[in-house]
Amino acid sequence: MQTLLIALLSGLGFIVAYHTYGRWLGGKIFKLTASHICPSEKLTDGVDYVPTSKSVVFGHHFASIAGTGPIVGPAIGIMWGWLPALLWVVLGSIFIGAVHDFGALVVSLRNNGQTVGDVAGRLLNRRVRLLFLLILFLALTIVLAIFGLVIAAVFRQYPSAIVPCTIQIPIAVIIGYWLHRRGAGLLLPSILALGLMYLTVIYGDTGMLHAINATMAAWSSWTWVVLLLLYSYVASVLPVWSLLQPRDYINSLQLISVLGLLVVGLIVAAFAGGAPLMDGTRPALELAAPMVNWNPVGAPMIFPFLFITIACGAISGFHCLVSSGTSSKQLKSEPDARFVGYGGMLTEGFLAVLVILACAAGLGLGLTKADGTVLVGHEAWLTRYSVWSASLGPLVAAFVDGSSNFLKALGMPGGVAVAMMGVFVASFAGTTLDSACRLQRYVVQELATTVRPREAGGLDLFAWLRGKHGATLTAIFFAGLIAAAPPAGQEWSFANAGKGGLLLWPLFGATNQLLGGLSFLVIAFYLWRRGIAVWFVVLPMIFMLIIPMWAMIWQVFIGGADTPSWLSQGKWLLVSIAMITLVLEVWMVIEAIKLFPRAKGIIEDNAVVPVVA
């Protein structure tokens, strides 16, 4: 019952926060009003700026910010105990993450849908704009380089997910055409899309489809990375309504329906136990993970690493790019921003809570070993968590095993339950990849404009980079270049290629959280220049600037007995990029501190004036 109580109280807390703190932010702080014309209406182009209903934008936004982040992060973080992970997810979502996403969305809405990096140029100065955009470019390059490998690893581990994930693409194109060109309502397309997706989960690994899955699962990582980057290119340059928007929307339907099934399964398991074992007994649902574990074997210290390990689900800097890069260009009414920005992050927080419970309690309902032995309780949990591990496979497996146990408690066949959760993980990794590519396109275009403004005379060598095709090709070129590198200490070969993103993966957590702190900095300046209270932004901002800096310095110079410093290991690529990132952060913070006393109540030059309907 303790597990069920945690889930219900967390969900209730998120609902209360949305209707209290979220309402206060939207009404009293950001003063959202339907009278302001949104960028999607003012700058509509049918490609990036497309007025869209809040339900569809929520689907795109939620699917893009969720990805595998709220799965992998909490699955690692419970090594320090389920209680620290749970507290950080619930409190972080409400008071930090949701404020961050909501604030970045509103600031972008009020600035013609520009990214927070671009807006920083007006709110602070042009140097800060360039510094922020460089940090965004580094962070998104890591995302693009690693997520192809993430999806390949999931497909290799769960081949039954391949055909269902592939079929989502034509379903999304059909739904996009139906909604945009035919002006259809949402209800019927939603029901049909969801029904088709679940049919592919149930029958997508039968007969000839099983052979197709097995063949594609055997493809090399490099093959998958190339195919996925090419897909990301297409998704980035197509009109947002044709693929990105509907695919994310139907994925969000899948996610929300799976969340509902997991909650129902958790309730059944709490009262009746898990699926019957070989002897007919149903194992009791209990927390098999420790409440607190200050020193897991092989793990770094809990402070600051819990706060960069669990990012999505509590706060993630990547979200500021989705809020200000794509979602702000689609909302057609300002008040919708609270539902999408604040509500989307709270929904992700609830997903992270269920991930924690699946790994901490769901695993204990039964785990079958290779020899057929079934382990339950703490013994089952230890098979995944005896030693600290940040590798993808065991962590995804821990979540899939634990969550599928909740579904099996409902009587769902084991194969279908595992396939459903495998599709769940792979689908959201895919939405992160294609959204990140479009976002990187915007960053490259903004960098080109910053370095070489359009109005500058003479030969314009940056015109190609300001176009969507040139910017997108540049984005996938750099990501592919990094991905093509072999893992550390190994020679290049087609078997090793595609895994180069792992070289930079240790930087992802700190760099991602640093983006959150810098995004808060931009939000704070937006409010400060308008004479609006900033304390609720400044406190999380300071926390999110110090924590990733602390973690990065520890990783580079200090380290521990089980986790030597990068410097002592001679990991010069990580050391170099970490130092560049730290210098850029410190430089940007110094620029902000110098400007802050002089900016209060002074509207920035060239400020965008809201157009009233």
Using DSSP, how many helices (H) and how many strands (E) does the chain show? Answer: 27, 2
Q: What pLDDT is stored for residue 168 in this prediction?
A: 87
How many CA atoms does the CB half-sphere of 205 hold within 13 Å? Answer: 22
Q: What pLDDT is stored for residue 390 in this prediction?
A: 53
Q: Which of 465, 434, 441, 475 is nearest to 235 (CA)?
A: 434
Q: What pLDDT is stored for residue 457 in this prediction?
A: 56
Structural class in CATH, domain 2-483+491-599: mainly alpha
Q: Is 371 helix (H, G, I), strand (E, B) or coil?
A: coil
**What are the residue boundaries of the structural domains of the chain, listed by start?**
2-483+491-599
- Residue 358 Cα distances to 68, 249, 287, 364, 395, angstroms: 15, 25, 9, 9, 11
Q: What pLDDT is stored for residue 97 in this prediction?
A: 97
Q: Using CA atoms, how far apart are residues 72 and 88, in angstroms rounded to an integer? A: 15
Q: What pLDDT is stored for residue 153 in this prediction?
A: 81
Q: What pLDDT is stored for residue 566 in this prediction?
A: 92
Element (H, E) at 283: none
Q: What pLDDT is stored for residue 392 in this prediction?
A: 59
Strand partners, 375: 367
Q: What pLDDT is stored for residue 391 in this prediction?
A: 58
Angle ∠(427,195,163) on CA atoms, nearest 5: 40
Q: What pLDDT is stored for residue 441 in this prediction?
A: 92
- Residue 559 — φ and ψ, nearest 5°? 70, -175
Q: What pLDDT is stored for residue 182 in this prediction?
A: 67
Q: Give the residue ranges of the chain where pLDDT is below 50.
A: none
